[in-house]
Amino acid sequence: MQILKTKDEVRRAVRQARREGKTVGFVPTMGYLHEGHLALMRKAGEDNDLVVVSIFVNPTQFGPNEDYASYPRDLARDAELAASAGVDIIFAPEVSEMYPRGFSTIVDIQRLGDYLCGAKRPGHFRGVCTVVTKLFNIVQPDRAYFGQKDAQQARVIRQITADLDLPIEVRVLPTVREADGLAMSSRNTYLTPREREAALVLNWSLVRARDLVQSGEQEAAVIAEAITAMIEAEPLARIDYVSVVSGDTLEPVQRLDGPILIAVAVFIGKTRLIDNLTLEV
Ligand code: AMP
């Protein structure tokens, strides 16, 4: 496995692989890898001959009061994990490699970026869309892999890929969870033992929501209230949003019909965690 720091090196390596007739799978990450990331890498390895992973904590997708500076970083640890998952190339650029002096272009998305995390984190999806477009152009993969854990991000990336005619197949894989149900996240490392326990309320509230739907509940407000009540009963939790939206447009719905996304963002202490559930009603 190679660890490359520059765009030129990545382009050269991918070009060489292409000359050998290889297909290329790509997994963009911010590093501090966990099983959720590794599942994407293994799948990329099953589908493609060459697997490229980017590890880049992208400053433009963090708000001014968010955790850019404290986001966990450990390239040596990540390299071992990625190698064990069969990755061929890690692209780990410096910020100046991605955003050299004079950088002035952004890629943004309308509507889909306005709801859920987009409403709570102004500029977040502009940062995501810009960096993912750049990474797609640098790596030029056949297929790119994302996690359902970041449901809105996956939806947004599918849309920009289609809208900008990027010749890349976007694949979205299920959320990988700890044995007790907590969705894996690099940010889980921020949690104290007591907070780690409290964080289970995200998944529990979504399991409760699924039970309600399965027993026939169709009112979005009833489901959102049930989730809200459960989360509010946890003293260490503070709700950022609880939303029941169309899985297609991400607009709030009143009645459950068609593809539905039930998404929550919750502060556990100072740590903001997200989780979601998709349903076809
Ligand atoms: P991140 O490093 O958090 O930006 O995530 C990189 C990619 O891994 C994104 O496509 C995420 O959706 C995906 N991912 C993160 N956590 C999980 C998880 N628990 N299960 C599946 N995919 C995940």
Q: Which amino acid is at 188?
A: N
184 lines ligand 1 (CB under 6 A): yes
pLDDT, position 118: 96
- The pLDDT value recorded for residue 184 is 98
Report the residue among 27, 29, 33, 37 best suited for mutation to probe ligand 1: largest number of ligand atoms under 8 A from its CB: 37
Instruction: Report how far apart, in Å, the C-alpha atoms of 66 and of each of 60, 99, 122, 272 are.
Output: 11, 20, 11, 9
Determine whether the shortest distance from the Cβ of 89 to ligand 1 is under 6 A.
no
Q: What is the pLDDT of residues 131-187, one digit of tens each?
A: 999 999 999 999 999 999 999 999 999 999 999 999 999 999 999 999 999 999 999
Q: 99 pLDDT band (50/70/90 cuts)?
A: very high
Is ligand 1 within 6 A of the CB of residue 185?
A: yes
pLDDT digit string (tens) for 101-135?
999 999 999 999 999 999 999 999 999 999 999 99
Would you state the torsion angle of the CA atoms of residues 112, 113, 114, 120, taken in this order, to the nearest 10 degrees? 140
